[in-house]
Amino acid sequence: MADNTVQKIIDAALKVFGEKGYKGATTRLIAEEAGFSELTLFRKFKTKENLFDMALTQNIVKFNDEFQSIILEDRSEDPGEFLRTLIKDMARIVDDNFEFIHITNNEKSEESQPFKEEIINDLSNYIKKNIPDNQIDNKALAVTIFMVSYGISLSKHRGENFINHEEVLDGFINNSLQLING
């Protein structure tokens, strides 16, 4: 695990990269957000690119750990209950990791594309295993769950209060249940 200074800088970087994007995020802003000097930032990471890569790598591991935990915890035999729980869990994980997911959806990097492919493939396989219906395009459903979860989280983080986020999530769940129930 990273030392306290390194972790504070990584956390600040994630926040600033999420808000400003890679190009808009300056090392000065990141250092200020972390409460350190730019010199400390450069001593620990050498370059902005190294810091960006470290923030992504660390958060890929964190997200994957959280995703794997829902796979281990969700044990419902009923396909409807399984899907309801899965969508709620994904929405929570995406929201809890919003800055990271926002970066992977908006910044090109060597890490983000394989990460998203792996999550979608794992989610698709998990759906197929728990909802054995060959009428469902599992990959399309996996992408939809991931992107709807991100869209709801994005709306929350932008402070868009004209949307009742819980109602939207419940509506999506109900529509998804109709899909599997035929």
DSSP 95-110: HHTHHHHHHHHHS--T
Instruction: Convert the pLDDT of each residue in 115-153 to its tens digit.
Output: 999 999 999 999 988 887 768 899 999 999 999 999 999
Ramachandran bin of 173, using left for φ above 0, alpha for ψ from -120 to 50, beta for the remaining angles: alpha
The pairs formed by 64-69 with CB atoms below 8 angstroms and a separation of 24 or more are 64/118, 64/119, 66/93, 66/96, 66/97, 67/93, 67/119, 67/122, 67/123
As given in the structure block, the two tokens for residue 109 are 């990097």
Give residue 18's pLDDT band: very low, low, confident or very high (50, 70, 90). very high
